[in-house]
Amino acid sequence: MPDIYLEFFNQLQMLHSFSLHPPSVEAMQTINSIMVEDTSMKLLPTHCINSAGELEGFMLSVPAKAKGGILPINRAMFHGTSLFEVVSKGGSFNADIMRLQQTIDIRDTMKDLMQQISAASAGKEASFRCVPDNVDLLSSVRMDGESHVAKTTGKRSVDFADWQPELPHSIGLYQAFCRGYQKDLRVHKLFIGVNGGLNRCSDEFYNLLLDVGNEFTCQEVAFSEEAWWLRKACQRARARIALATARHYGLEIATCTDLFSFNQDQIGVPVVDTVEFDLKETADDTVEFYSACTDTTATQNGIITKMHESEGLWIFRGSAKSSAKTTSFGALFGSKSVCGVFPTRSPYYKRNQGSPSFVNGLDTELIVRHASTPRLKADGHVFQCFDEQFFSNLTAMQWDRNSGVIELVPIVVGMS
């Protein structure tokens, strides 16, 4: 590594970097362009130049009054992973899991589900035209060929137009044996996991910041109505996909009414929700940008880390709650002064652009793809392997290894 890059990497180590490997030359060039005056960065052990050619796996802190154009916004802003627990049926072994595994056409049913979601969203994707118009008004709309008067008085923060969730990056059914913090019996549980967000609207947000980002401060971007709505809408989209999945497979999950929805739709209630690409303002007049990582000091019920699709999802459990039940995965941990961030995925990158510890992560018979090409042989792109050195490094990031990890084993996973 050239001396100039080695010197800069040493500077990053002083800025609370938790990297296990030095950045590549391309990554250093990106970091050098991001690290302007009064900014700081925390590199995670999952940092890399991903398959899209973007730097991933870091938390950037910038002055709140700086121009918004310095934020490294990408086309997956506010995307994340939501996990929904299926109401258990049966004793030691979950009856729904046994039924699903005995269903010969489970791959075909996943294909049908993805096709239904894709067809329903065609031309009805969410965009910023759906952002609530917080004024009281009367308007004439047509429904079923008849005229009706819509009154929005008292319905603030409700979507201005209806939209349908787009096909997410992945939809999966997962099983795991879970045990609570009271050392009770392990329980065989079934979960629905959804990873993704609103592709079209996230793309609009990216283009908006690309065009006029420097017209606003980072604080104004983080506090903008567009950022607030998109963050919430991405989570609501995952919740709607989960409920559609549950109904498609004859499963039962906790539900509630989406009070922000144009039609007051029913949505699933996640037990864990992890946003991977986020913006937050802190108390010390800075704005934090999260890339493939999350804030551990705001964790409510564990952190989902997305592995390659054939391996499933991992839940890194946090500190025990006094009211912990069998399905509780722990609360917040760590502090911003030391680390305060945690990786949310095993990154997908080209060799030599990330960690030297990797696996190919090829598709198995559990993976069903909608439009993308199956990965059946090594193609030069790999997923980072979470080995012993990686886990040991997590202790420096203030994660208590005694809290444990729950591995959610895939039954079937659909990919876009």
Domain assignments of the chain as residue spans, ordered by start: 3-124+156-345+364-373+382-415
Gyration radius of the chain's alpha carbons: 22
Helix, strand or coil for residue 384? strand
* Residue 393: Cβ-neighbour burial (10 angstroms; 0-12, 13-18, 19+): middle
Task: Return the pLDDT at 280.
Answer: 93
Task: Return the pLDDT at 134.
Answer: 62
Task: Return the pLDDT at 141.
Answer: 47
DSSP H or E stretch at residue 190: strand 187-196
Q: How many CB atoms lie within 10 A of CB 364?
A: 12
- Taking only the tens place, the pLDDT of each residue in 301-342 is 999 999 999 999 999 999 887 555 556 898 888 888 888 999
Task: Return the pLDDT at 106.
Answer: 93
Which residues of the chain fall short of a pLDDT of 70?
1-16, 90-92, 134-156, 180-184, 322-327
At a CB cut-off of 8 Å and minimum separation 6, what does 397 contact? 18, 334, 339, 341, 342
Q: Among candidates 265, 262, 267, which has minimal Cα distance to 161?
A: 262
Task: Return the pLDDT at 183.
Answer: 61
Q: Are 121 and 244 in contact (CB under 8 A)?
A: no
| DSSP H helical ranges for 122-261 | 199-212, 218-222, 225-248
Reported for 317-323, long-range contacts at CB under 8 A and 24+ positions apart, including other chains, are 317/403, 317/404, 317/405, 317/406, 318/403, 319/400, 319/403, 320/181, 320/403, 321/181
Q: Are 227 and 200 in contact (CB under 8 A)?
A: no
Task: Return the pLDDT at 3.
Answer: 56
Query: Helices (H), strands (E): how many in the chain?
Result: 8, 21
How would you classify residue 141: left for phi > 0, otherwise alpha for psi between -120 and 50, otherwise beta?
beta
